[in-house]
A and B are shown apart, each in its own frame.
Chain A
Amino acid sequence: MDAVLIQLLNGLDKGAAYALIALGLTLVFGTLGVVNFAHGALFLIGAFCAVTFQKIVTISKKVLDPNITYFDAYIEQPYLEIWFGETGLAVIDYAVPLSLFLAVPVMLLVGLAMERGLIQFFYKRTHAEQILVTFGLAIVLQEIIRHFFGANPIPTPAPDIVSGSAPIGLWIGLGESFVYPWWRLIYLSSSIVIISSVFAFLNMTTFGMVVRAGMANRQMVGFLGINIERKFTIIFALAAVVAGVAGVMYAPILPPDYHLGMDFLVISFVIVVVGGMGSLRGAVAAGFLLGVLQSLAAMTAVNALLPGISQIVIYLVAVIVLLTRPRGLMGRKGVMDE
């Protein structure tokens, strides 16, 4: 029982990552009608905002290491530590959460630049061409990251205080072997907060109402004299911010490298399609569903029964859903129909 529960929690945690990326992807598709293969790259840029921030706060003075006599080796001492002592060290420790202050404006700018600079010219071109040009952009962005940060993953640890794990089992009376890392719990809950606020924004503000109306019938909203283009630009930037924040928060879980975006891209695309193109709720539901399935499939008992299932479960489910429910789980009629 514990084993299933913890696997379920792990699945939700994975699902949260998928859902966050898929949410932005489907938001852009639903509003702008653009299939954005560079969305994974936005996640990547977010993660590297955390890396960059960490690099900035740990800019170090090089001191000759007296312990190594064979050659000149250096110990690095961060300037922040030299100047501010304990406070400086605390800033370094909290680099990942603090980097959100860098990531949000950066992602906003990146999103605006991408939409104005490239995406807007592809509104009227075919989906295939949109996929291709954004695929090219994704390659370019990841190669730029690689040029500056190298090919290796860069450890970006969470603050010390949350580096251990939470004794969930003790809280709910299931024994002490049921533990879960603090940072993953934080990740899961902040994902839920972000997802809810996106929904709240779209459902409760006038802006959101117009956007939803635009998703349902773009022409009509245009006829009403509303500048829907401007709004869509903002939506694109918003999607970029969501992906970027997801990237920042994910950095302590998996040391980011330049390939992170591509790794998530394929899976998040599958999720969007399974959820139903253009359906926000579908994307979130499918994200959590596939996360949980993937996690459960990795259990030893399941694997003994169906060898290899943990490797393919996501794709298998995608095939089944697409063949039985042509519009995905929650797709609406008229969106991306054949």
Chain B
Amino acid sequence: MMMNIFSKKSAPRLMLFFAIGVLTMPIWLDPVGANYPDLLQKFAIFGIFAIGYNILFGLTGYLSFGHAVFLGVGSYSAVWSFKLLTMNVIPAIIFSIIMAGLIAAAIGYVSLRRSGIYFSILTLAFAQMFYNLAYSVLTPITNGETGLQLTMHDPRIIDNALSRTVETGLPSTDFFGISMNGYSGFYFCAVMLIIAFYIYLKIFSSPFGMKLKGIKSNQKRMKYIGSDTRPYLIAAFVISGMFAGLAGSLMAVTDPLAGAERMQWTASGEVILMTILGGVGTLFGPLLGVGIIKYLENIFSAVNDSVLHSFYSFLPQWGENLLVTITAPFVGEGWHLTLGLLFMLTVIFLPGGVMEGFQKIKLYFQNRNKPDKSNNSSEESSNV
């Protein structure tokens, strides 16, 4: 299954379909009420975050609990670039990726001395340190709880030198004159997602990616055959940190404010949930996970009793009330409950996430068509 995706012939076609799929999101997400810029931007941004996370966790099996740090670092760097240099987003993005990469190199260098749960706890400890410091001592850099914001008196050296100044009010982020508000912001993020996905695809199919998969399946064997895994692990960690940095900078591009909450361990937990829910280690799984969770968070959480009542209004009064009572705890404020249940069911029954579910359904239909080959294909499925 996997192999033919990577074959030289189909890779460009895959990219083309992917690009079209991403860019037409405003059209095909409209019927489900998800077509508004903020949510579309979130899909793209967290998509980048999740595929980056998948490079580390999906390929090497190293479970990092501190990836949100790079998201935060990316955001802060980008906002500082807006404040000090220019409102153009390109320097901000480059600066963010570099900063996130540097911090990832430092954390990765230390944390990757250990593996397993020790690695997880080390990344968690670093993440909590960054988060707590951002709230307290680093306030001059992060502006604490309020979050780092643009002000009218920011120096913006480059903008001022080019006299690209705004007469009144706060400037907005732009890509050579195109404002990054609303849909143009989404298209920018979407293009970034497509580029990131291309790199991700290349990494998956490269010898480097194979090496990482080797680490996941058996690190000892890799060591015995004389292959030092540490440089590969650090490289994977830094790359995935840079993806997170890019995602963080895009959060600042679409909304120039950086808050410390996006560095909390629960934010790292969220990307783990996304990756697992969709299917860890699979190509598209993390993106599916992002879609499901962000959709739940934004659409489900806004459903309240009156919406439910109108949804069930075709039923008789008592049936309507009964169903509203049953469903109410799972929507609105209770969407976390739905998420937790969904997640548990996934880990219990579909450790491979939604992607494994698709695979099973597909196999089921294949097997119905060709019953004689059933043994063969079910074995194949476990490798996916």
Contact = CB atoms under 8 A, between A and B. Distances in A.
The answer to whether A binds B is yes
Interface string A33-45: 0010000000000
9 contacts: A131-B120, A132-B347, A133-B344, A143-B334, A151-B333, A308-B138, A311-B132, A318-B121, A322-B122
Interface string A131-158: 1110111111001101100010000000
Contacts of A129: 347, 351
Contact of A147 (B117, B121, B138, B334): B334
Nearest to B266: A262
B125 interface: yes
A273 B117 contact: yes
Contacts of B115: 338
Interface string B329-346: 100011011011101100
Interface residues of A, number: 40
Contact of B61 (A35, A125, A128, A133): A128
Contacts of A262: 266
Smallest CB-CB A-B distances: 9 pairs = A308-B137, A139-B340, A136-B344, A311-B132, A143-B337, A315-B125, A140-B340, A136-B343, A133-B347
Contacts of B136: 307-308, 311
Given A308-B136, A319-B126, A133 B348 contact: yes
A253 B339 CA distance: 31
A337 B134 CA distance: 34
A25 interface: no
A134 B121 CA distance: 16
B276 interface: yes
By size class, the interface of chain B is: 35 or more
A147 B327 CA distance: 12
Nearest to A133: B347
Q: Which of A125, A135, A277 has the most CB of B within 10 A?
A: A135
A137 B133 contact: no
A277 B348 CA distance: 25
A336 interface: yes
Contact of A315 (B117, B126, B272, B333): B126
B71 interface: no
B336 A139 contact: yes
B164 interface: no
Contact of B63 (A131, A139, A319): A131
A269 interface: yes
Contacts of B137: 307-308, 311
Contacts of A127: 116-117
B269 interface: yes
Given A138-B340, A151-B333, A323-B113, 16 more contacts: A129-B351, A131-B63, A133-B344, A133-B347, A136-B344, A147-B329, A262-B266, A269-B121, A270-B121, A270-B125, A312-B132, A315-B132, A319-B122, A326-B118, A336-B116, A336-B117
A109 interface: no
Contact of A132 (B125, B133, B272): B272
Contacts of A322: 114, 118, 121-122, 125
Nearest to B135: A311
B124 interface: yes
A307 B336 CA distance: 36
A316 interface: yes
A338 B133 contact: no
A266 interface: yes
B106 to A, nearest CB: 12
A322 B113 CA distance: 10
Interface in B75-118: 110, 113-118
Interface string A282-324: 0000000000000000000000000110011001101100110
B348 A121 contact: yes
